[in-house]
Amino acid sequence: MQDTYFGQVDVTSLKGMPVNDLIVLLATMGSHISQHERYQDPFMDGVPNGPRFTELSQLLQQAQVEAATKDTAKRAYLEQFIQECIVNIRIFVNFAEIRAARHKDQRYLEGLGLKKKEQKKRNARSSFGPTGAPERFSVKHGPVSGSLLFMVARVVAAAHYDLEMCMGDPNNDADWHATGTFVTTRNIRLDGLEPGKVYYFRIRCLGPGGFGPWSNIIKIMVI
């Protein structure tokens, strides 16, 4: 079942992790991901790859050395950069879970240099109910001509959000086309749309029980 792919990796231990341990973890992830057979294809935008984790490890080590001078600004930067590194790890874990669920392949979650949670006995039924349709789906014109910005309320336990676009009849499913997959719910940006043309959009999310229903359809003329 798809829900077995989510929540396996222990990300709670990242909070409060000693800096030296975090440096080692980032370097280990960088090495493992770069050599991992399931992660040789290009990543989606915004997801850190193996070389990026290696770079983060080196940058964090440098920030730690500079912060040792007792410079207040450099110590503040170190704390800020630690949080940035943790966010990057969480983004990758989310990405790994999505790939594992989509391909139904546990190997996407193995050999990453990350700790697994201790497995607890579970009931046969999932602890999560069906994923609902995203609410408060809205759109506005973006900062440049031909661009749009989308927002949607976060759905509990959602792994990612799929956005689709229609330029024809919104009642005809064949007229809908995949636009992108996103892990964020705010300021989802699309560029390169045709000014003066009317577009329809809808969004859904992938949760532990699979894909949920589509949201309400929104209509907008691009400027």
Is the domain of 76 the same as that of 29? yes
Buried b (16+ CB within 10 A) or exposed e, 180-199: bebbebeebebeebeeeeeb
| Residue 25 is assigned to a structural domain of this protein | yes
Hunting for tokens 């440098």 — which residue is that? Answer: 62
Do 102 and 187 share a domain, yes or no?
no
111 token code pair: 């050999």
More confident position, 70 or 12: 12
In-domain check, residue 126? no
| Residue 151 reports pLDDT greater than 90 | yes
Is 184 part of a structural domain of the chain? yes
Quick: pLDDT tens for 98-143.
Answer: 988 888 888 898 888 888 776 555 444 444 555 788 999 999 999 9
Please list, in sequence order, all residues whose beta carbon lies within 8 angstroms of the beta carbon of residue 199, skipping any fewer than 6 positions away.
148, 165, 166, 167, 193, 219, 220, 221, 222
Q: Does 59 lie in the same domain as 103?
A: yes
Are residues 79 and 32 part of one domain? yes
- List the structure tokens of 168: 């024809």
Q: What CATH number is given to the structural domain containing 212?
A: 2.60.40.10
Q: Are residues 101 and 193 in the same domain?
A: no
Domain with 194, as residue range(s), is 138-221
Helix (H) or strand (E) holding 160: strand 160-166
* Residue 11 shares a structural domain with residue 92: yes
Q: Based on the domain organization, do 6 and 94 belong to the same domain?
A: yes
Co-location of 104 and 143 in the same domain: no
**Assigned domain for 7 exists:** yes
Residue 145 sits in the same domain as residue 93? no
Query: In terms of domains, do 21 and 93 share one?
Result: yes
Residue 36 lies in a domain: yes
Helix, strand or coil for residue 205? strand
Residues 154 and 70 both lie in one domain: no
176's enclosing H/E stretch is: strand 176-182
- Count the domains in the chain: 2
Last residue in a domain, options 90, 109, 128:
109
Phi, psi at 60, each rounded to 5°: -65, -40
Q: What is the pLDDT of residues 189-222, one digit of tens each?
A: 999 999 999 999 999 988 777 788 999 999 999 9
Residues 194, 103 share a domain: no
Residue that finishes a domain, picked among 58, 91, 109: 109
Rounded to the nearest angstrom, the gap between the alpha carbon of residue 76 and the centroid of all alpha carbons in its chain is 27
